[in-house]
Structure 1
Amino acid sequence: MEVGAMVSLPEELQAREDAARRRVEELQAESAELALRLEKARGDLSRLEITRETVAQVLTELSAAEAEPDAAAGGVPEIDASSVPHGVGVMMVPPWREGLVVAVLPDIYRDIVEIIADAPGPVQAKQIVPRIGLPTTTGKIEGTRGKLKRLVERGWLDEDTPGHFTLARQGPGRDRPNSQ
């Protein structure tokens, strides 16, 4: 500002307000762009997780079928916890079937099933997150909800009311989930 020129206070405030408004609009546009990129990245991650789980499941089933000739003849192969891979990069949740024990699940899924088994009634994702040692942020709750949905799809849990999870009626057994 020049030494002799006087700008009125209302004009200066209006100029600052206009600059702040432009900055807010720029940040909102950046935020919208980031939200779109985040949603795409989440979709990519979900597809990769599902692909990895499917490949691990197929490999486990193939190796079980090779190890047990009864499986090819229509028998259900027994799978014990030591034969199921539990390593970095493996997050396999096998479909529940008679004789399958909670121990075959990856640690986080097993913890979720055990928490639900110990609960007096239906449980929501936001109630499970702190019990598995995660912060109760939206991202962690949504990630846990995805795991709960996967356990429902595979027959380990039921979701009679949206967002409320219980042990599956035909699943690992309401009275003895930790006994095997």
Structure 2
Amino acid sequence: MVSLPEELETREAAARRRVEELQTEAAELAVRLEEARADLSRLEITRETVAQVLAELSAAEAAPEVPAKDAPEAEGASVPHGVGVMAVPPWREGLVAQVLPDVYRDIVEIVADAPGPLQAKQIVPRIGLEATTAKIEGTRGKLKRLVERGWLDEDAPGRFTLARHGGDTDRVNSR
């Protein structure tokens, strides 16, 4: 028969081995977590940079050329990296839907082609998404953003049409 102190020592050694195994697993998971965070950070920076470049290209297309003597000094001027970048620029004369991110452009084109006002739940399947509550609400948020930026109008609550800009509605799909 095994004595009680020997049994306790055996159980203590087994528990100590288990603790060491779990500490090793935790350390490995911590390394994997840091790698995943680094990947996420790189992707966020890439997305922000692309949005910034697209916004700058959009602004450059719409802005009149400034003579060199009137141009602001490049030295000392810094563009914040990804801070305040607007993926959906405000609508202005001469701006076309191609400057919008893909999903926003698709939404504007679908609304432009519709014979009347559309609801978010009608747009979701037309942009290739499953008609779930989450997708409908996400699309509704995009529609509201397009209204805020002047691309669309919300004639009645939840009913969206192409914004009227002095007869310029036929330019949505033009280049």
Q: TM-score range by the shorter chain?
A: 0.5 to 0.7
Task: Specify the alignment match of 1:106 in structure 2.
Answer: 101
Q: Which runs of 5+ in 1 are unaligned?
A: 1-48, 75-89
Q: Distance in 2 between matches of 1:129 and 1:173?
A: 26
1:147-166 residue pairs with structure 2 within 5 A? 147-166=142-161
Q: Distance in 1 between matches of 2:69 and 2:115?
A: 41
Letter in 1 for 2:98: A
Mark the CA change 1:138 to 1:95 in structure 2 (over 3 Å): closer, same or farther.
same
Query: RCO higher in 1 or 2 (8 Å CA, sep ≥ 6)?
Result: 2
May I ask how many residue pairs the two structures share in their alignment?
A: 113
Q: Which runs of 5+ in 2 are unaligned?
A: 1-43, 71-84
Mark the CA change 1:108 to 1:147 in structure 2 (over 3 Å): closer, same or farther.
same
Mark the CA change 1:175 to 1:133 in structure 2 (over 3 Å): closer, same or farther.
same
Identity %: 79
Q: Distance in 1 between matches of 2:120 and 2:101?
A: 18
- When Rg is computed on C-alpha atoms for both structures, the one with the higher figure is 2
Task: Specify the alignment match of 2:114 in structure 1.
Answer: 119
Residue 137 of structure 2 corresponds to residue 142 of structure 1: yes
- Moved runs in structure 1, 4+ residues, more than 4 A? 55-59, 61-65, 71-74
Task: Specify the alignment match of 2:170 in structure 1.
Answer: 175
Q: Distance in 1 between matches of 2:133 and 2:159?
A: 17
TM (norm. structure 2) is 0.53
TM (norm. structure 1) is 0.52
